[in-house]
Amino acid sequence: MTFVVTEPCIRCKFMDCVKACPVDCFYEGEDFLVINPDECIDCNVCVTECPVNAIYQDKDLLPEQREFIEINRRLSQMWPRATAPSTPLPEREQWRGVPNKRQFLQMHEPADP
Ligand code: SF4
Ligand code: F3S
């Protein structure tokens, strides 16, 4: 089993989860975070840290959120590891609670520096 970051994180990226994770298994894109399922130790610590309740155990996901299991696996192999202290998105309050954010998820590799 693993924990999975889901749709409410898109365009919010509060980053409180990163500080809480004992094994640093979050990976960071421009406007979303994911968990590497092979590194997550299922400790549950990050779940209550997320202000928008974006993190769930894979077995508890609703059918419409189950695609995020594969999204977390795939993007965690493309994106760089997130490390604390991290900077949350400035527009996070504006996007908090907005439905149907899946369409905004950008799944490309990070831009060259
Ligand atoms: Fe990290 Fe634990 Fe959350 Fe997995 S469940 S991402 S190990 S804090
Ligand atoms: Fe995203 Fe919540 Fe972490 S918004 S960055 S999963 S604290």
pLDDT band at 111 (very low <50, low <70, confident <90, very high): low
- Rounded Cα distance, 8 and 26, in Å: 16
* Whether pLDDT at 113 is above 60: no
Are the C-beta atoms of residues 37 and 26 closer than 8 Å to each other?
A: no
Q: Say what the pLDDT of residue 112 is.
A: 57
The domains of the chain, with CATH numbers, are 3-82 (3.30.70.20)
Report the Cα–Cα distance between both ends of the chain, in Å, rounded. 34
Share of the chain above pLDDT 70, in %: 97
Mean confidence (pLDDT) of the chain: 94
Instruction: Say if CB 89 and CB 12 are below 8 A apart.
Output: yes
**pTM of the entire predicted model:** 0.95
More confident residue, 20 or 83: 20
pLDDT beyond 90 at 65 = yes
Check whether 110 has a pLDDT greater than 80: no
Other CB atoms within a 10 A radius of the CB of residue 59 amount to 9
Instruction: Kindly give the distance from the C-alpha atom of residue 107 to the centroid of ligand 2, in angstroms, as a whole number.
Output: 17
Question: Which of 7, 104, 110, 80 minimizes the C-alpha distance to 50?
Answer: 7
- Give the residue among 15, 11, 34, 9 at the shortest CA–CA distance from 91: 11
Quote the pLDDT of residue 87: 86
- 71 to 23, 85, 90, 93, 94: CA distances (angstroms): 20, 24, 24, 24, 24
CA–CA separation, 94 and 31 (whole Å):
13
What separation in Å is there between the alpha carbon of 58 and the centre of ligand 1?
Answer: 12
Give the model confidence (pLDDT) of 1-47 as tens digits: 999 999 999 999 999 999 999 999 999 999 999 999 999 999 999 99
Q: Is the CB of 43 under 6 A from ligand 1?
A: yes
